Amino acid sequence: MNRRRRTDLLIDLGLGIFGLLMLTPLIMLVANAFKTPEEMLSWPPTLIPRDPTLDNLTSVLNETPLLSWIGNSLAFALLSTLAIVATSGIAGYIVAKFPFRTINIVFALFLATAIVPFEVYMIPLYFQVKQLGLLNTVPGLLVGYLVMSFGIFLIRQNVLASIPDELIEAARIDGGGEMWIFWHIVLPLLRGPLAALAVLAFFQAWTAFAWPMIVATKRSAYTIEVGLALFQTGYTVDLGRLSAASACVLVPSVLAFVLLRRNFVQGVAATGMKE
């Protein structure tokens, strides 16, 4: 008994230290945002600023369009999430419950798109967006972020595992049309996996870098990821302001994760195993 408790304690301790180690860079980042340039380079590094300053923050907010970058990123990520949740929900359900041969081929094509890396078709896609006159716009950013093949796959698996055919057949006999059934039976039952997918889709768009970088050619059209990269040039890194900007960027992502944490863990871990 005593021995078991000691092992438990050791495991807790180990996990605690590991957790702190994972957190340290984040804490350092936030701390750095409030340090003077001298303190930032001093050795040993300090965890809590000795002489806190708001200079970095004010300079970032005044000299760069940080807020509009965050706005661009938010619009891009939210719309992309919405589109991916909608397309994955509909496509995943259809692929799972209407298994005609042609639909199986379509599903195979969905999966095939996951094999081709985005970088391969990034440039052709760029030219298309350019021809459409969508450079430097949120719709331009969204091209390529409307459908996620993994999302379709995730929803398909969830539908297969958690929505029996009889449920849909019962609804058909009860008098439901196909759209009605999707909206009132299928969607409510897919809430968990769709929320997990929403978190994935949001972070995919929020952290996208290469595509926004080539689509946004004007400084004001940048997303936050691209904007942050501006603080590092080939020769110098403006550590103070980079830290301040990064700390600002952390806020929405941490918020989103905290709000959706339960759905995220449930949806990915259990993938629809309901009793």
Partner 1 sequence: MANVQIRDLRKSFGPVETIHGVSIDVPDGAFVALVGPSGCGKSTILRLIAGLEEISGGTVSIGGKVINEVEPKHRDIAMVFQNYALYPHMTVAENMGFSMRLLGHSKAERRAAVEKAAEVLGLTEYLDRYPKQLSGGQRQRVAMGRAIVRQPQVFLFDEPLSNLDAQLRVQMRAELKALHARLKVTTLYVTHDQIEAMTMADQIVVMKDGHVIQAGPPLEIYDSPADTFVARFVGSPAMNLLSAELADGGVHIAGRRWCDAPTDRRAVQLGVRPEHLVLDPEGVPLDVDNVDPTGSETMVLGRIAGQQVTLLLRQRVAVSPGDQLTVSADPAHLHLFDPDSGRRLIPGDG
Among 48, 173, 179, 269, binds partner 1 (CB under 8 A): 173
Tokens representing residue 231 in the block: 């603080």
Applying CB under 8 A, among 180, 183, 209, 257 the residue interacting with partner 1 is 180
Query: x/- contact string, 136-165, with partner 1 (CB under 8 A)?
Result: ----------------------------x-
Nearest CA among 228, 198, 202, 200 for reference residue 213: 228
172 binds partner 1 (CB under 8 A): yes
* 169 near partner 1, judged by CB under 8 A: yes
Cα–Cα distances in angstroms (integers) from residue 44 to residues 21, 31, 37, 47, in the given order: 17, 14, 14, 10
Give the three-class secondary structure for 163. coil
DSSP letter at 50 equals: S
Q: C-beta of 272: minimal distance to partner 1 in Å?
A: 12
Task: Classify 35 as helix, strand or coil.
Answer: coil
User: 90 or 167: whose CB is closer to partner 1?
Assistant: 167
Helix or strand or coil: residue 237?
A: strand
Under the binding rule (CB under 8 A), the answer on residue 170 touching partner 1 is yes
- Is residue 274 involved in binding partner 1 (CB under 8 A)? yes
Piece of 20-28, 39-47, 175-183, 221-229 that binds partner 1 (CB under 8 A) = 175-183
SS3 120: helix
Residue pair 181/172 in contact (Cβ under 8 Å)? The answer is: yes
Which residue among 175, 235, 236, 269 contacts partner 1 (CB under 8 A)? 175
Number of residues that this document lists for the chain: 275
178 binds partner 1 (CB under 8 A): no
The contact set with partner 1 (CB under 8 A) reads 164, 166-167, 169-176, 180, 185, 188-189, 274-275
